[in-house]
Chain A
Amino acid sequence: MQSCRLAAHDISCRRGDRVLLRGVGFRLRSGEALHLAGPNGIGKSSLLRILAGLLRPFSGHVEAEGGMALSDERLPLDVHRPLGAALDFWRQLDGAADVCNDFGLEDLLDVPVRYLSTGQRKRAALACLATGGARIWLLDEPLNGLDAHWATAAQAAIEAHRARGGIAVIASHQPLELQRLEVLPLLDHVG
């Protein structure tokens, strides 16, 4: 994997008339991970969407080198299709050789996506992200809905991604068990 980089400079984030966050900045290099920590509604998801380039920051700017992938609370799979076919659409789109099988979905490939449980949907979303091969992962509450076993597996997948030289930015209100994890407490940046 080529090296990648992600830096945020003095980002402010506004939703409607309210400035949620001010002066958020960080630099990440290959293999590093950042935990955006803070309670519900503080602006973690908005910040991730700014990093992804989907929202414009109120001020500041983002520098990124390397492809980005976002996994949020939505599952970008066609709900009526079997999980296998729905994942295969993204595999083909990203030109990947195989669908990621770190999340134990082998037995569910024939099941239409709409029948998946909350945890299974989260695992499918993570498999979708991991299949794409993007170097920078933006994860919004990646452990939501996962049981202890799969929460461990998801964190192991993030560690494996970092070991390959990837970057992970994780927005979560839960504590994470990752090596050398930088934590950015967003409470310090509330506008």
Chain B
Amino acid sequence: MAQAPRQLALIFRRDLGLLLRGARGRGGALLPLLFFLSVAMLYPFGVGPDARLLARTGAGVVWIAALLAAILPLDRLIEPDIEAGLFDQWALRGLSEEALVLVRIAAHWISFGGPLLLATPIAAGLLSLDGWQLGRVEIGLLLGTPGLAAIGVTIAALIAGLRGGAALGGLLMIPLAVPLLIFGAGSLQPDGADGLVLLGAASLVAVAIAPFAAGAAIRASRE
């Protein structure tokens, strides 16, 4: 037990490397990022180049793009490691599923939320957002992406081993992520600072619940 922190640090390094680079024939951090930017690029084509309309609606589009991008990596977050027996091996070494899930959420957040935060200025440029809006979106994503990562890992654990799990994952992700989207988009109003507080709270709740829900799902997958 005394060596659990050292083991979890090793697992975190391994998870992060795997999620950033991508492996097992699935994309790494690049794919959600390109998807996110594609949505930001397509939106002006869809609604026309009216800068005022874009500026008014664009920040919300950034949020929708972030939510949709969060769906892409779902099927490789947990399932490959259950299939290869890694979670069983970790359990035999006395590591709890909850701790492993927390590590996985942190790694997923960095590999998914980090690139998104870096790409948001580009998306803001494509959507004619001003500096204030960009700042709000960045702060909002910084607060909200941990929640998206936590929900993503939970759903990934729930759909592990199901046929057609990837499609189901997307359907499950959308309703669960709606609070984050509402508070995130709400914070973009001129008097929306309260939205940021609620966004942070919703995100925190997701991060707090996810290890227990996903841990239970991983244990249930053994039966």
Chain A interface residues (CB < 8 Å from chain B): 49, 52-55, 67-70, 72, 74-81, 89-90, 92-95, 134
B98 CB-CB contact with A under 8 Å: no
The 3 lowest CB-CB distance pairs between A and B, nearest first, are A74-B85, A80-B23, A76-B85
Taking the closest CB of chain A, its distance from the CB of B88, in whole angstroms, is: 6
Whether B89 pairs with A89 at a CB distance below 8 angstroms is no
Of listed A52, A76, A90, A93, residue having the most chain B CB within 10 A: A93
Of the candidate stretches B10-18, B157-165, B184-192, the one touching chain A is B10-18
- Residues on A with C-beta less than 8 A from B47 are none
Query: Can you spell out 26 A-B residue pairs with CB atoms less than 8 angstroms apart?
Result: A52-B88, A52-B92, A53-B91, A54-B91, A54-B222, A68-B92, A70-B88, A70-B92, A75-B84, A75-B85, A76-B84, A76-B89, A78-B14, A78-B18, A78-B23, A78-B84, A79-B23, A80-B23, A81-B23, A89-B10, A89-B14, A90-B89, A93-B11, A95-B3, A95-B6, A134-B92
State A165–B64 Cα separation when bound (angstroms).
60
Whether A93 pairs with B222 at a CB distance below 8 angstroms is no
What is the interface size of chain B, counting residues whose CB is below 8 A from a CB of the partner?
20
Per-residue 0/1 for B18-34: is the Cβ within 8 Å of any A Cβ (1 yes, 0 no)?
10000110000000000
- A-B pair count, CB < 8 Å, reads 52
Interface of chain B residues 78 through 103 with chain A (CB within 8 A): 83-86, 88-89, 91-93
Whether B14 pairs with A54 at a CB distance below 8 angstroms is no
A54, A55, A68, A74: the one contacting B84 at CB < 8 Å is: A74
State A79–B10 Cα separation when bound (angstroms).
18
Chain A residue nearest in CB terms to B14: A89
- Residues on A with C-beta less than 8 A from B89 are 70, 76, 90
Whether A54 pairs with B11 at a CB distance below 8 angstroms is no
- Residues on B with C-beta less than 8 A from A67 are 92-93
Q: A55-B222, A79-B84, A93-B7 are in contact. List 14 more A-B contacts (CB 8 A).
A: A49-B222, A52-B92, A55-B223, A70-B88, A70-B92, A76-B86, A76-B88, A76-B89, A78-B23, A79-B23, A79-B24, A81-B23, A89-B14, A95-B3
State A54–B223 Cα separation when bound (angstroms).
9
If A74-B85, A76-B85, A79-B23 touch, whether A53 touches B14 (CB-CB below 8 Å) is no
Whether A92 pairs with B223 at a CB distance below 8 angstroms is no
Per-residue 0/1 for B208-223: is the Cβ within 8 Å of any A Cβ (1 yes, 0 no)?
0000000000000011
Taking the closest CB of chain B, its distance from the CB of A34, in whole angstroms, is: 18
- Residues on B with C-beta less than 8 A from A69 are 92
Of listed B6, B10, B85, residue having the most chain A CB within 10 A: B85
Taking the closest CB of chain B, its distance from the CB of A58, in whole angstroms, is: 12
- Residues on A with C-beta less than 8 A from B85 are 72, 74-76
A53, A89, A95: the one contacting B92 at CB < 8 Å is: A53
Whether B93 pairs with A94 at a CB distance below 8 angstroms is yes
- Residues on A with C-beta less than 8 A from B91 are 53-54
Whether B93 pairs with A93 at a CB distance below 8 angstroms is yes
Taking the closest CB of chain A, its distance from the CB of B157, in whole angstroms, is: 16
